[in-house]
Structure 1
Amino acid sequence: MLKALILVGGVSSRMGKDKYLLNVNSKPQYIYLAELLKELNIPIYISCNKNQQNNIESRFDVIVDIFQGVGPMGGIASAFELDNNVDWLVIACDLILIDRATIKFLISKQDEPSDIITFIKRDSDFPETTITIYKSSTHSLFKQAIADKSYSLQKILRKCKLETINPPEKNKLWNANTPIELQEAQKFIKGLNL
């Protein structure tokens, strides 16, 4: 079984405001992503920190980070604490150009004989870590990483049987972490809508 986890728990220090509340796609970003996933009939959870919990609309299931201050690792490890018998499709809230077709393409690879399935990054040869399927077989690695205080998702990827795929459109993996990156992405969106 596959469940979806939308990561919103970061502090957004480089952006200067909460990325999950950015209104880029005509609604707060976490709602935009949840609605994309809802169309794919996947159970959806919003991964957030304690301070954000009250900002998430009550219609959404929430997983509050058990492991605070360790980045995306904490959100994913917390999801495995909730349910370690499923595969988790993880999507970060700063992927503001992601679309249903790209997500469906990733999901279509779920049956590959691997522990993790992910895309190659838009702007490098490294694998993505936050538009990724982490299979239940990785649960023990997350537990160990938390115990070792080793919070790098790239290290988890290197310890697993990894399946990397090219996205149908690389620009759909655009991360907006700073105001300048957000402005560039918004220009790109406007160009698409002309």
Structure 2
Amino acid sequence: MTDERQPSLTVAILCGGQSRRMGQDKGLMPFLGRPLVQRVVERVRPLSGEIVLVTNRPDDYRFLGLSMLPDALPGRGPLGGAFTAVMACRSTALALVACDMPFVNAAVLARAYQVLAAEGCDAVVPLTANGTEALHAVYRAATCAPVMKAALDAGALKMDGWLRQVRTRFITPDEIARFDPEGLAFVNVNTPEDFRAAEQRARR
């Protein structure tokens, strides 16, 4: 990175969740013959040499050889996992993704990272017809951490309720389409049917 304004970047992958609809740990399920989380790691690796996992099951994920963080506030949903990541982040910026997103798009995240640096905002989050994609986004750790904590103290569990309280830049569908023309970046797998459909897409 040659731009002196460009913040350093860490990538965090959330590997928590109850996986009630799937019935097992989604990140460890074989996707095209290897654990889904391994596919996610490989897709985000071009973004940073600093990749961490947020998980309360470190022994199950040790095979990846990555740093791991236990939930700072167990049982507090995706926002609790995100807060864990921003609190531990040693970089200026944090790219946050979930382990159940087989088509995580490094180009979309790289674009979000560029916008964060260029526009001086605190969060850069894709916005689609389905709403915000806060688990495929980039955050400025120092400014987002206290706002996340306040939201958690108020009982929030979801990722997007606090975004209006910081300088958030939403990436539009038109911007996203430049880097994700097939519209797959935000697909996640919550059920066995979702998983099989995503595998079929990946094979094609």
Scaled to the shorter chain, the TM-score interval is 0.7 to 0.9
Alignment CA distance shift 1:128-1:149 (3 Å): same
For residues 132-171 of structure 1, the aligned pairs below 5 Å read 132-136=137-141, 137-165=143-171, 166=173, 167=176, 168-169=179-180, 170-171=183-184
- C-alpha RMSD of the superposition: 2.0
Distance in 1, matches of 2:123 and 2:48, equals 21
Contact 1:25–1:32 at 8 Å: present in 2 too?
Answer: no
Alignment CA distance shift 1:73-1:84 (3 Å): farther
1:15 aligned residue (8, 17, 22): 22
Deviation of the 1:142 alpha carbon: 1.2
> CA offsets, 1:130-157, max 9 Å, x none?
0111212111101212222222212112
In structure 2, runs of 5+ residues without a counterpart are 1-7
Contact 2:71–2:84 at 8 Å: present in 1 too?
Answer: yes
Equivalent residue for 1:100? 106
The range that moved more, 81-90 or 179-188, is 81-90
For residues 1-194 of structure 1, the aligned pairs below 5 Å read 1-49=8-56, 52-57=57-62, 59-83=65-89, 86-111=92-117, 112-121=119-128, 124=130, 126-136=131-141, 137-165=143-171, 166=173, 167=176, 168-169=179-180, 170-190=183-203, 192=204
Distance in 2, matches of 1:105 and 1:27, equals 28
Could you tell me the TM-score, scaled by structure 1's length?
0.86
Alignment CA distance shift 1:156-1:24 (3 Å): same
Contact 1:84–1:139 at 8 Å: present in 2 too?
Answer: no
Distance in 2, matches of 1:88 and 1:45, equals 10
Distance in 2, matches of 1:71 and 1:164, equals 23
Contact 2:43–2:104 at 8 Å: present in 1 too?
Answer: no
Q: Which amino acid in 1 is paired with 2:20?
A: S
Q: Give 3-state SS (helix, strand or coil) of 1:184's partner.
A: helix
Could you tell me the TM-score, scaled by structure 2's length?
0.82
> CA offsets, 1:104-152, max 9 Å, x none?
333332313322111124x51x111101112121111012122222222
Alignment CA distance shift 1:76-1:2 (3 Å): same
Among the aligned pairs, what percent are the same residue?
Answer: 22
Alignment CA distance shift 1:99-1:23 (3 Å): farther
